[in-house]
Amino acid sequence: MNVRPDKDLLIEVAALKGMKESFVEKDWLVTQVIRTIRGINQDGFEVVFSGGTALSKAHNLLFRFSEDVDFRLLVNPELHTRKNLSSFKYTVLDALRADGFAIEAHHVKARDENRFFSIDLEYETVFPRENSLRPHIQIEMTARNIQLPHISLPVSSFLNELAKHPPEVVAISCIDPVESAADKLSAIAWRIPDRVRGGQYDDPSIVRHIHDLAILKDRALAHAGFAGLVAKSMQEDNNRAKNDLSLEGMAMPQKLDKMLDILITDKAYAEEYRRFVEDVSYAKSSQTLDFENAIQAVQVLIKAVSQ
């Protein structure tokens, strides 16, 4: 990992970006994580940058802070075993530790025979912690094929971007935004009906998918295969519900309608959305969509894939 930037520099960049210093600090750390993982080279394994952080930092389509670092892991079929996936997991851990990130055993979780694993990277901060920020950087890797060709893009921290320095990551394979939109629509199709607000595993930031889908709407609708991408993603997610087991096997239009009805009738979602945008968005006011407009965009997407 590069030497951490001076506190005064972080303050200066935060002022120029119109955001809190702790966000600029964490953005720099997130970028170093991406750089480290991009440098991993293990035969038969390819990492593809995905999720909201890829949409904001690589594609530059979102103007919101995203502290999770998600990757798809493309694995040669003959290597798709628990042992080989475990080996790659430890390769990632070794690379992060070699670059100065402290990781304890309890920071790592794996399931589905190592087809999924996550790492919580705790970090020291020179600023007061914001309630909207986790005290760690969460890395998630999922061994799952992509549906569209990946796109090679650079990734730069806010610091390098404003200083006009070269990006920390010259190029990394990134998931296509249209596929991200399909994954996000599939995610809320089961997570919203399955959600228990206030429960142990509740995630109020699930509204991020609504926010992102509204921004990705036109790009998704312009892709002739979007409905098929959504259907495939929903098939992959079919048995992920833990509370509302009626979702398993439910037809795609019915599942989407059920989710939409909850978003419209449960008034708490509008407040959660407002708070989310207020906490993490650094978009200009003209680029920000309110909850009503975001829901309308989701309705348009649902109509398009349900025909």
Strands of the sheet with 151-155, listed across from one edge: 108-111, 116-122, 136-143, 68-75, 45-50, 169-174, 151-155
Rg value, the chain, Cα: 19
pLDDT of res. 58:
98
Kind plus residue range of the DSSP H or E element containing 60: none
Length reported for the chain: 307
pLDDT of res. 77:
96
pLDDT of res. 228:
97
Q: DSSP state, 128?
A: P
pLDDT of res. 1:
66
Closest to 65 measured CA to CA, from 80, 79, 51 = 51
Kind plus residue range of the DSSP H or E element containing 156: none
At residue 60, φ and ψ (nearest 5 deg) are 55, 40
Give mean pLDDT in consecutive 10-residue pieces for the chain, a chain of 307 residues: 88 92 95 97 97 97 90 97 98 96 95 97 88 88 97 98 96 98 97 92 93 97 98 93 87 95 97 93 82 98 94
54 class by beta-carbon count within 10 Å (0-12 exposed, 13-18 middle, 19+ buried): buried
- DSSP helix/strand/coil, 138: strand
Strand ranges (E), 136-290: 136-143, 151-155, 169-174
pLDDT of res. 242:
86
CA distance 85 to 76: 11
**What is the pTM for the complete model shown?**
0.94
For residue 225, give the amino acid letter: G
For the chain, the straight-line distance linking the first and the last C-alpha, in angstroms and rounded, comes to 49
Tokens 């890829």 appear where?
54
Task: Kindly provide the b/e burial profile for residues 259-271, where b requires at least 16 CB atoms within 10 angstroms of the residue's own CB.
Answer: bbeebeeeeebbe
Kind of pairing between the strands at 108-111 and 116-122: antiparallel
Write the class of the CATH domain 7-175.
Answer: alpha beta
- DSSP helix/strand/coil, 239: coil
Strand ranges (E), the chain: 45-50, 68-75, 108-111, 116-122, 136-143, 151-155, 169-174
Q: Where in the chain is the domain with CATH 3.30.460?
A: 7-175
- DSSP helix/strand/coil, 137: strand
Task: Kindly provide the b/e burial profile for residues 180-198, where b requires at least 16 CB atoms within 10 angstroms of the residue's own CB.
Answer: bbbbbbbbbbbbbbbbeee
